[in-house]
Amino acid sequence: MKATCWMGTRNVQVESVPDPAILNASDAIVRITSTAICGSDLHLYNGFIPSMKRGDVLGHEFMGEVVEVGKGVQHLSVGDRVVVPFPIACGHCAQCEREMYSLCENTNPNAWMAEKLWGYSPCGIYGYSHMLGGYAGGQAEYARVPFADVNPMKVPEELDDEQVLFLSDIFPTGYMAAEACGIQPGDTIAVWGCGPVGMFAIKSAYMLGAERVIAIDRFAYRLRMARERAGAETLDYAEVDIYEALEEMTGGRGPDHCIDCVGLEGHAPGIHGAYDKVKTTLMMETDRPVALRQAILACRSGGTISVAGVYGGFIDKFPMGAVVNRALTIKSGQTHVQRYMRPLLKRIQDGEIDPSFVVTHRMTLEDAAAGYEMFAKKEDECLKVVLKP
């Protein structure tokens, strides 16, 4: 089959690889009809995530048709149309029973690698390094889906692929980030990053009762999309001092809650941005937490900093004094997608949201390399690329 392979930093190629096969009785094989490039795939592309190997198949946002099931699969059949959540969960360990699916204790065969960096391991994730299981991803013609009775969700025929594909990751991810803020009616929420997850965080904050959402980015087209497609007010951090602008917009108090949808490759003008750039280049710091620092300093006292952006390792100049002295709460986590898929599908069916609003580019799988490059360089007003095998 054809698959999108990581061949080194900023080098992605569509290669011929062996078809996936059933390895365990609980597996299914899915023929992929739509898959997407995620912002977090860019961290792999740019070489920020350790333990990638040349030839690894990328992709953790995918959906398609079940073409084969293992002997133990009871709730899925050949021909079912499914969307697949990016965290691989077993469904019966202590974490899965708490619905903390991205912390599943059974699906990362390379848990020891993650334990060295993080203390304990989260779940395995498709196409996201050997440290997170070494699973082949879904930017391909077929994928093996473990624990097929637990993970994929059947989707109704009347919804097209682009309306349900993002239940695999970015819609639940934006939603969980907003939910973590405990939004009360009338609240003002600030969102760093107007990529696809940022868009869903903005929409979700409104769905959960926010009165105002202020979105922060530096690309004019992404700020425009945040205004036009998601209804946010916007700030360009290259043009204004974000702390001062937010203070002024919120009666001198700061936004009630702040959501970081940027993660480890943040940019910033001035001394802090330069500091992180030097430190990460010299491998003295793994992540550039500029959005996170800003969010902590800007948030209203007593508010929540919800972190949806991906961080991989260690950060410097973390303003812990602000967290302690102003009673801030920090919430984060890889998304427990399985917990949100059904309720969010209902919101789509009820017409509350059509997730396809983020799609700007549709390409064939063969063009995946061009899609990565365009998304990474923010060319052609690229927000979200859907690939069709």
Nearer to Zn ion, 40 or 139 (CB): 40
Helix (H) / strand (E) containing 279:
helix 270-281
Q: Which of 7, 93, 249, 369 binds Zn ion (CB under 5 A)?
A: 93
Nearer to Zn ion, 38 or 57 (CB): 38
Task: Report if residue 38 touches Zn ion, rule: CB under 5 A.
Answer: yes
Q: Which stretch binds Zn ion (CB under 5 A): 92-100, 113-121, 260-268, 336-344?
A: 92-100
Nearer to Zn ion, 104 or 183 (CB): 104
Nearer to Zn ion, 96 or 299 (CB): 96
Q: Which of 96, 164, 242, 246 binds Zn ion (CB under 5 A)?
A: 96
Residues in the chain: 389
d(C-alpha 358, C-alpha 41), whole Å? 17
Nearer to Zn ion, 39 or 303 (CB): 39
Identify how many contiguous H helices and E strands the chain contains and give both numbers: 13, 18
Nearer to Zn ion, 169 or 187 (CB): 169
Residue 39 · residue 385 · CB < 8 Å: no
Q: DSSP string covering 83-124, please? A: EE-SEE--SSSHHHHTT-GGG-SSS-TTHHHHHHHHSS---E
Task: Report if residue 49 touches Zn ion, rule: CB under 5 A.
Answer: no
Size of residue set near Zn ion by CB under 5 A: 9
Q: Which of 4, 35, 40, 280 binds Zn ion (CB under 5 A)?
A: 40
Q: Which of 30, 63, 104, 190 binds Zn ion (CB under 5 A)?
A: 104
Q: Which stretch binds Zn ion (CB under 5 A): 64-72, 99-107, 239-247, 274-282?
A: 99-107
Q: Which stretch binds Zn ion (CB under 5 A): 22-30, 33-41, 73-81, 323-331?
A: 33-41
Site for Zn ion in 148-207 (CB under 5 A): 169
Q: How far is CA 76 from CA 28, 82, 141, 191, 320, in A?
A: 8, 9, 19, 38, 48
**CB-based burial of residue 112 (10 Å sphere; 0-12 exposed, 13-18 middle, 19+ buried)?**
exposed
- Give the largest Cα separation in the chain, rounded: 62
Nearer to Zn ion, 87 or 134 (CB): 87
d(C-alpha 181, C-alpha 308), whole Å? 12
Whole-number minimum distance, CB 79 to Zn ion, in Å? 27
Q: Which residues pair with 30 in a beta bridge?
A: 66, 143
Q: Of all residues in this chain, which one has the CB nearest to Zn ion in the complex?
A: 38
Residue 41 · residue 372 · CB < 8 Å: yes
Task: Report if residue 90 touches Zn ion, rule: CB under 5 A.
Answer: yes
Which of 44-66 are b and which e, b meaning 16 or more Cβ less than 10 Å from the residue's Cβ?
A: bbeebbeebeeebbbbbbbbbeb
Q: Which residues bind to Zn ion, rule: CB under 5 A?
A: 38, 40, 89-90, 93, 96, 104, 106, 169
